[in-house]
Structure 1
Amino acid sequence: MLNRRSALFRPSDQAPGAGSEDAPSYRFLELLAVSASDLLQAEDLAPALDRIFGLIRSEVELDVFFHYAFDGNGLDLDAWAGITPDQVADWSHVPIGIAICGGVAESLTPMIARDIQRSDDPRLSYARGMGLDACFCTPLLHNNVLLGTLAFGRRGVATFTDAEIQFLQTLASYVTLAKHRIGVDRELRARLQERDRMLAERVTIERQMLELTRASALGSIAATVAHELNQPLSAAANYMAALRLSSASDDRTRDLTGAAEQQLQRAGEIIRRIRRMVHQNDLVLEDRSITGCIEEALNLVRAAAPLLMPPVTIHVAGEANLGRFDNVQIVQVLANLLRNAGEACQQHADAAIRVTAERQDPLAVTIRVIDNGPGVPPDRRHLLFQPGLGNGRGESGGGLGLGLAISHHLIEGHGGRIWTEQTPGGGATFAFTIPAIREAVAEA
C-alpha cells in the first residue's frame, strides 16, 4: 500500500532510493513524466485522460474521475471513469455553484472533500450517491480563464495525503496546459480551413467572373459585328437581285448574280443566327435581395483591391429591396461600377461613394452608384459604353476598356438600361435598371 505520509517533493539528505519512505515520491515523478508525455502528444483530451487514469488509479487508489469543460455558462461532462451510465446522464451538465465541481468553478479554488459519507453538506450529495469517501476537485485555469474542472474520488479511504494532493494538483496543471494547447490547435486548424475555403471560393468567383467577362465581351463584339454587317449584306443582296432582274442582263450574268445572291442570303442567315445566340443569354433569373447583391459586389472589389475603395454608404428603399435578376451578372455590373468609382475618386481628399436603390418605375428598380470624384468629361458621355474607353473617365487601367460595354450588354440582357447622370456638387452617377419582382409590381 502507498505510504500516504510521503511528500511529493520532499528534500532529503539521503541519495535517491536510499530509503523506502522516498519510493512513492519518485513513483509519483515517474507517473507525472509519463502523463506529461502523453498529454504533450494528445490531440483529444478525453482519451488521454482515460489512459492516464488507467495508469494512476491503482497507484493512488482512485475509483473515479470526471472532467468537466466550461462552456461559458455551466459545466459539461467531457471525460469520466468509474461512474454508471445513469450517473453520467444525471450529471452531464452542472450549473455553476452546484455540487463539488460547480462550487470549484464558482470559487476558482481547489476543494478537498473528506469523510463524505458522514457529511451532510448538500454540495456532496452527488459524491455520496456515488459511494465516495474522499474527493479532490480543482479548477483548470489558464491565465485566470476557466477552462473546466478535474476531480478524482476514492472509496474506502476517507482522505488524501498531502503528497497525493500535490501529485493530483500537479497532474491537473499539466492537463490545463494540454487542454489549452488542444483548444488553440483546433482553433488554428479551423481558421486555416476557413482561410483555405475562402481562398478557394475567391478563386472560383474570379474564374467565374473571368469566364463571364470573356463570354460577355465576345457577345458584345459578336452583336456589334452582326449589327454592322447586316445592313451592307442586305444592300448587296438587293443589288444582286436588281442586276439579276434587269433586262440588260444575259443568262450568264443572271446565273452568276443568282449564285452570289444565294451566298449573300446564306451570310445573312449566319448573322441572324449569331444575333439570336447573343440575345438568348443563359440568365438565371431569381427573386433576390438587392442589398445582398450590392454588398457582395462591394466585398468582391475590396477583396481584389483592399486599398482602392473609400467609405461606401448603401441606401436601399424598402420597396426596392427585391428584384428579379441574375445575381452573378448584376454583381459583375456593380463591381465594375464600384471599381471605376473607387479609381476615379482615389485622389480626392474626402473620397466617398454612395449606392442607392429606389422604385421610380412600377416595373423596375433603379440602382445608382455615385462618387464625388472629378466626374465624366462631357465629350465622353456619348461614348461611355463603347469598348476601349478604360473606366469611362478618360483613364485606362491597362485593360481593354470593356467594363462599361460589358455592363451595358448585361443590363440590356435583363431588359433594362444603363446611363450616366449629372451629379449635384460634382462627381459621377451611373444608373441602371433591373426588373422588379412580380409581387412588388402587383402591390405597386
Structure 2
Amino acid sequence: MDPLNSKGRLAWGLSAIWTLLVAASLLWNCHQARQTALELASTEAQLSHNKDLGYRLWAARHGGVYVPVTPETQPNPYLSHVPERDLQTPSGRRLTLLNPAYMMRQVHELAAKIYGIKGHITSLKPLRPENAPDAWETQALKAFEAGAPEILKVVDSPNGPHLRYMRPLFTEKDCLKCHAAQGYKEGDIRGGISVDVPLQPFLLGFRTQTFTLAAGHGLIWLMGLAGIVLGNRRIQRYLGERQQAEEALRLSNQRLDLLAETASRLLAAESPQQVVDSLCRKVMKYLDCDAFFNFLVVDDQEGLLRLNTFAGIPEEEAQKFELLRYGRTLCGCAAQARAPIVAEDIQNSDDPRTALVKPHGIQAYACHPLMVEGRILGTLSFGSRKKTSFSADELALMKSVSDQVAIAMARKLAEEALKKAYDDLELRIIERTADLQTTVRQLQWEIAERLRMEEALRQSEERLRFLASQLLNAQETERGRLSRELHDDLGQSLLVLRMQLNAILRRHSLDQEPRRHLEEAVNYLLDIIGKVRRLSQDLSPAALERLGLTEALRDLFENFQRYSDKEMTIKAELDEVKDILPEEANIVIYRITQEFLANVHKHSEATQVTAALKVLPEKVTISLEDNGKGFDLEEIKSRPQERRGLGLTSMEERLRMLGSKFSMTSRPGQGTRLYFEINRIL
C-alpha cells in the first residue's frame, strides 16, 4: 500500500515532525536568549572590574590620592606608618592620603547606591579587617592561588539571582609602599576585586525576548501547518491524477487487445456470423453493457432483418422480434438510414423507436449498421441498464467492432458467392459435356459463358483482395488514431503532470521524506511516459512516414535490441528504398518484419537475427532469418486455419493482397527463414 495514499497519515506525520522541530527551535532559542542575558551580565561585570582596576592602578601609580578630611573620609589608621599621611594646605585645609584600597572601597559604596552593582576589593591577608572576604570570595582567592585566571558564577540570594565575578590582583612595585610590611613581593597574588551584578534586569529582558520568540514560533508553526495541509492536498490530487492515467492506460490496452482479437478471429473464421456472439459478449463485458443484438439483412428490397444472435433478454422475448422490418425500432431505423442511431435516457423518453428495448429496462442504446461499400449487411447494437448514455470512446469502439464484423461478413459472402459461381460453372460444364451433339454455336456459347464466369471469378478474387485490403487499412487507421490519442492526449497529460511535480520540487522547500516520495513518483511517471511512447510507436511508427522504409527498419531493429529482455544481435544489410514501392507495400514490409521480431522474441530463443533488404531492377527482395529453435512448418500448415496462429496467417494475407511471392523455411533446431519479393514501381 502506498504510504502517500492513506489520507491524513502523511499530513499528521508531517505535522508532528513540524511541531517537534518548532518546539526544539523555540527551546534552543530560549536557551540562547538566557545565555545571551548571562553573557551581557558577565560583560557588565567584567567592564565594572576593568574600570575598578583602572582606578586602582591610576591611584597606585600616583602613590595614592590626597582628599579633604570629612566625616565620611577620615585618615586611614592603617597608613600611620606612611610619612606625610596627613597634610595641611596654606589655607589651613586638612588633607589625608587615600591609598588605592581605601579609594576603591568608597567608589564601590557609591556605585552600589547609584547602579546596584557592588564591588569589593579583598584579600586573604587584608590590612583592614572589614575588607575580609566572604565565603565565596575566600574560595575564589584560593582558586587563584591554584592557578585559576578568573571566577564567574550565578548565585541565589533573598533579592534574586546575582552574577558574581572576581579576578586576582597581582603585587606591583607601586603596591609595596603600603603592603611590603605584609611580606608581599612584586608579582605575588595579593588579593582580588569581586563584582556582584544583580541579574533581575537582564532576566526581565530575557522574559520579554522569550515571549517574542514564543509568539514568532507560534506564527511560523501555524504557517507550516497551513503549508502541510496545502501540500497534502496537492499530493492527494497528484495521486488521483496518477491513478486516472494508469486506469486510462489499462483501458487503452484492453481496448487494443479486444480490437486485435476481434480482427484476428474474424479474419480466421470460416463463418463470421458464428463468432459474432462470443466476440460481442466480450465487447459487452468490456463496455459494461447488459444486452446486444445482431440483425442480418434477409431482403434489402423488402426491407427485412432477421435476428442472428443476442444476449441480455429471455429467449422467448427475443422470438417476438425475430423478423424486423426497416423503419421499425432503433435497429430497423439504423438499417433504413444506413447510419448509427444512439438513444439516451430511454426510460424517461417517449421515442416510439425504443419500444423494442424499453420494456427490458435498457437506459442507453446504440445501434450501428454493418456497411461495406454502401451495402447494408445488418446491424449491431449494444444496450445498458446501468448508465443513461455512452461516452465518445465507447461509441468509437462499437463503431470499430461493427466495421470489422461488416468487413468479415462481406468477405465471407464474397467467398460464398465465388464458390457458388464456381460450382454452378462446373455443373454447367458437366451438363454441356454430356450433350456432345450440340451445335458448334452452342459449344462456342458455352465457352464464352465459361470465360465470362472466369472473369467474374477473377473480379470476385480482386474484390476479395480489395476487402482484405480495406480490413488491413482499417486496422492501420485505427492503430494510427489510437497512437495519436496516446501521444497527443495521454502522453501530453502525463508530461504536464511531470512538469507540475518538478515545479513543486523546485519551488517548495520540502523535508527529506516527502521530497523522496515525490522524486520516486516523478521517476515512476517517467517510466509510464516511456511505455506510452513505445506503445504509440508500435501502433503507428512515425519513422515510417517521416524517414522512409529503410530508416524505419533500422529504428525498429535498434529499439528491439534496446528494449528486449534477451541478449540479441541483429545484422542488417538494408538498401535505400525510396519512392520505388507503394506506400501500402512499405507498411506490409514493416508489419511483417515487426511480426517476425515478435515471434523471435516470444518463441524462437534465438541469439541472432539476420535481415537483408535488396533493391533489384524490377523488384525488392526481403529476407529475415534467425538461429533459433525453429519448428515443423509442414505440421503447422497441416493444421486447421484457426489453429495455424495469427502471425503466419496475417503475413500470408498481407503478401497475397500485394500479389507477392512468399516462402518460409524452418526445421526444428535449424532456425527460421522468411523470404518474399515485391514488384517495384517502374
State the TM-score, normalizing by the size of structure 2: 0.28
| Bigger RCO (CA 8 Å, 6+ sep) | 1
State the TM-score, normalizing by the size of structure 1: 0.43
- Higher-Rg structure is 2
The structure with the largest helix share of the pair is: 2
